[in-house]
Chains A and B, each alone.
Chain A
Amino acid sequence: MKGSQVIGEAAIRAGCRFYAGYPITPQNALPEFMSSAMGNLEDGTFIQAESEIAAINMVLGASMAGARAMTSSSSPGISLKQEGISFLAASELPAVIVNSMRGGPGLGNIAPSQGDYFQATRGGGHGDYRTIVLAPAYGQELADLTRKAFEYADRYRTPVMILADGMMTQMMEPVIFPDPMNLTELPPKPWVLNGANGRPSRIIKSLILNTVEMEEHNWKLARKYEIISREIADAETYMTEDAKFVVVAYGTAARIAKGGIKRAREMGLKVGLLRPVTLWPFPERVIREMSRAVKDFLVVEMNTGQMLDDVKLSLEGRSNVHFYGRPGGIVSTPDEIAKVISSLYYRQHLEED
């Protein structure tokens, strides 16, 4: 299945019953899939919205009504959705947003890119908030992380972004799906708007004019983000046990880096991979612990250096941080990465024991 379809099928199996989206390349296979998948369900809703902004606000409404709701887009469209994402975070509403990243800034191009890392991990919209960001690198992980995205969104009542790129969402890979969730077994949501029948009326809002109350709300969100950071930060490690040199990369860049690492290992270089699965929260503890043995990290991204900042912040100067990136929709080859690894490896004299 195509990556976009994998996300769609996994979303339906995770209990997603509301999808609204707008056409933009390279994510189009996802709304197309959802239009027929939702149509096959008795209780599914698909809306092709008039705009990205309308789509995210429909999701806002569906989420208030208690549905597991999703929207998706590619980079320029995600910029437009940021208003709604900020409101979701402020109103503590769950929702899943998929970004199939393409080259940018501006209209850019439709080739795979990782240029939206800052936007995704720093909140993206206005105000003091965070968005959980999951970065799948394999077809199977598209399915697994989509399931997790809905679980995290409900558990923490916060928007979750699946940050994929045009390569991940258009590539075909075999996938084993988890069983569909029984909607009646999902945890109850004692906050939804469904009519004040036999209970006091409820308000879901983000306007808090009283500065003291607003500050308390901000601290409440901050405490929640601390809990999220402790509980779900996740990374995959590959050949890091004896590594002197570790590549840090996520998504498509991580898969290519793996190929480069295999080639470097064949040359006898002790190289490993650290692949963040959650970009926010960033798996900073893993990388900090690794810095006891590893004095050189190479960040590889499909941009001009964004996750690079988080690696540096995590290490706090403990190790050297190098960078290699290709922006503009260019996808590096494993050989290219292997060459970068070997030249840095020798330059840092890591071949000496």
Chain B
Amino acid sequence: MKEAPFHYCPGCGHSIIHRLVAEVIEELGIGEKTIGVPPAGCAVLAYDYFDIDMGEAPHGRGAALATGLKRILPDKIVFSYQGDGDIAAIGTAETIHAANRGENITVIFVNNSCYGMTGGQMAPTTLLGQNSTTTPGGRDKNRDGTPIDLSEMLAITRGAVYIERTAVNSIKNIRKTKKAITKAFKIQMAGLGFSLVEILSPCPTNWKMSPVDACRWIDDSVMQTFPLKVIKDETS
């Protein structure tokens, strides 16, 4: 990681997830051959923190851009880091087809059930009943549709090798998340195909909660819609 003024809000999950990804890259000894693809959204500034090569993608296009990088540099490690609006709304097509082609890339999918950077609008992952700036009174099934299970959708593609949903709202879950990220990178290093870790992450600012309450809300509410589990693992 680089020394940089910290821009994430207090209690934001990105700081933990950045650290986990950086630790995994360091422990696997792949920092000198890894290229990261940050998204549009809060985590676009990931390139200010990661001390590796980083190439910014337009909103939602991370998987397509990572495809181009990886095909030219098959011996390097390429990962994209994307939020839920980025990957599950505007970038759904790019993500599904990259998974279906079995692109040998790793995707870190941070699900905080809202559009963080733009100020807390409804995301495709916003829970039913959850308040956002565009779902006054809470997300309504008939008006706004239901939360999308992108990871489950990706799991049915033939090219996806490993997909797991974890969280960073407790020490135990953080440890599990690190294990999942490590596994996802190892799958790429072994050339096995598409790997993705979906990480439930707190957004206290837009959820209008204290960091502690936000972590608790992940347990009590978010996991009811998005249960933690290995969704697909073709290596086991």
Contacts and interface: CB of A to CB of B under 8 A. Distances in A.
A34 interface: no
Contacts, number: 131
Interface string B22-45: 000000000111110100100011
A91 B71 CA distance: 20
B101 to A, nearest CB: 8
Contacts of B31: 196
B54 interface: yes
A61 B97 contact: no
A129 interface: no
B55 A57 contact: no
Contacts of B96: 50
B191 to A, nearest CB: 16
Given A59-B68, A65-B68, A54 B52 contact: no
Contacts of A18: 68, 71-72
Contact of A203 (B47, B64, B69): B47
A205 B64 contact: no
A187 interface: no
B66 interface: yes
A255 B70 CA distance: 43
Interface in A107-151: none
Contacts of A50: 93-94, 96-97
Interface in B70-109: 70-73, 76, 93-94, 96-97, 101
A205 B68 CA distance: 16
Contacts of B69: 61-62, 64-65, 193
A193 B32 CA distance: 11
A198 B32 CA distance: 8
A204 interface: yes
A interface, size bucket: 35 or more
A65 B56 contact: no
Contacts of B40: 207
A58 B53 contact: no
B184 interface: no
A69 B68 CA distance: 9
A56 to B, nearest CB: 8
A236 B101 CA distance: 46
A64 B44 contact: no
A235 interface: no
Most A CB within 10 A of own CB, among B35, B37, B40, B72: B72
A64 B58 contact: no
A193 B76 CA distance: 10
B76 A207 contact: no
A30 to B, nearest CB: 18
A201 B52 contact: yes
Contact of A205 (B35, B47, B67, B101): B47
Q: Which 6 pairs between the two chains have the least Cβ-Cβ distance? A: A61-B68, A65-B72, A57-B64, A62-B68, A50-B97, A195-B33
Interface of A: 17-18, 20, 45, 47, 49-51, 53-55, 57-67, 69, 83-84, 87, 91, 193-198, 201-207
Given A201-B50, A203-B55, 15 more contacts: A20-B68, A45-B71, A54-B94, A65-B72, A84-B61, A193-B53, A194-B53, A195-B52, A195-B53, A196-B31, A198-B32, A201-B53, A203-B47, A205-B47, A205-B54
12 contacts: A45-B71, A47-B71, A54-B94, A57-B64, A57-B65, A61-B37, A61-B72, A87-B58, A201-B54, A205-B44, A205-B56, A207-B45
